[in-house]
Amino acid sequence: MRCFMCSSCREKVHGKLKSSQSHEVISIYDTSRETLASNEVTSSIVTSVFNSYTTSVPTISCLLCSNDDIVYILYNPKPAECKFIKGKLLKASIRILETYTLPMFDFTLDRNDEVLFTNISTEEESPVRMISSGEIRTVLDPKPMRLTAIHINRDNELICGLREQGPPFPVHNFAIRQIVIFGSDNHRKNTLENDTKGRKLCSCPATIRTDSQNVMYVADWENADQIGRLVAVDRTGHLKFAYSGPPDIDNIRPSSVCCYTK
């Protein structure tokens, strides 16, 4: 059991407890004074370049790799045009295996490295579709809702951003913006929309990733200019943090998230 005391009570009360000798006294600070948009880095990330590749792709929107050195790349040569590439990482180059022109907003990989993806907002339909053995089929249709970000976690659960029909912005008070967790059987297991204080968790999830504890990290867009924040939330809807950038800049435009294991 953990017992929290203010500084005054710790001095007056703690010493009178019978088991005070077995207690560990720690310092407590006022979390209400803590800013969410902090530029403090709690740990360093050490990186080194293993290999590099030069491609003709102007800007990569999303990139995933599988364990067998297969790389999956999504990019937009034009605002309403999406290209998806599957390639093999070689020592000095990438061998292109498959190329698709699809209205793809986001994609993820399942345990069998099958590609699941969602459509961009200009498309009339918004199902989860799968690319398997060169064929494309629908695996989940959330009508009347629309899908945004998509991710499969370590437990093979499908996590999606859902919103109402129509344009994604502006986000009104009555707008429905959810993060939904589906089981491996595609049945809905959990729906998150508001935090424990009743505030909307997200406006328009662009990317969702999970860590080893299945905490969800969401690149969330708040307007059509893709200005937004990074949101971390657990499966119960408890908001871990919301990061809108360091204090010395006005805003950030989060496009993707990456979680690594220490």
Mean pLDDT in the chain?
83
Does position 41 have pLDDT exceeding 50, yes or no? no
Q: Secondary structure of the chain in the HEC alphabet?
A: CCCCCCHHHHHHCHHHCCCHHHCCCCCCCCHHHCCCCCCCCCCCCCCCCCCCCCCCCCCEEEEEECCCCEEEEEEEEECCEEEEEEEEECCCCEEEEEEEECCEEEEEECCCCCEEEEECCCCCCCCEEEEECCEEEEEECCCCCEEEEEEECCCCCEEEEEECCCCCCCCCCCCCEEEEEECCCCCEEEEECECCCCCECCCEEEEEEECCCCCEEEEEECCCCCCEEEEEECCCCCEEEEECCCCCCCCECCCCCCCCCC
Does position 51 have pLDDT exceeding 70, yes or no? yes
Tens-digit pLDDT profile for residues 198-246: 889 999 999 999 999 999 999 999 999 999 999 999 998 899 999 998 8
Q: How confident is the model at residue 43 (pLDDT cuts 50, 70, 90)?
A: low
pLDDT of amino acid 26:
45
Q: Of 181-185, 200-204, 212-216, 258-262, which range is least confident?
A: 258-262
pLDDT of amino acid 105:
93
pLDDT of amino acid 134:
83
Tens-digit pLDDT profile for residues 160-178: 999 999 999 999 988 999 9
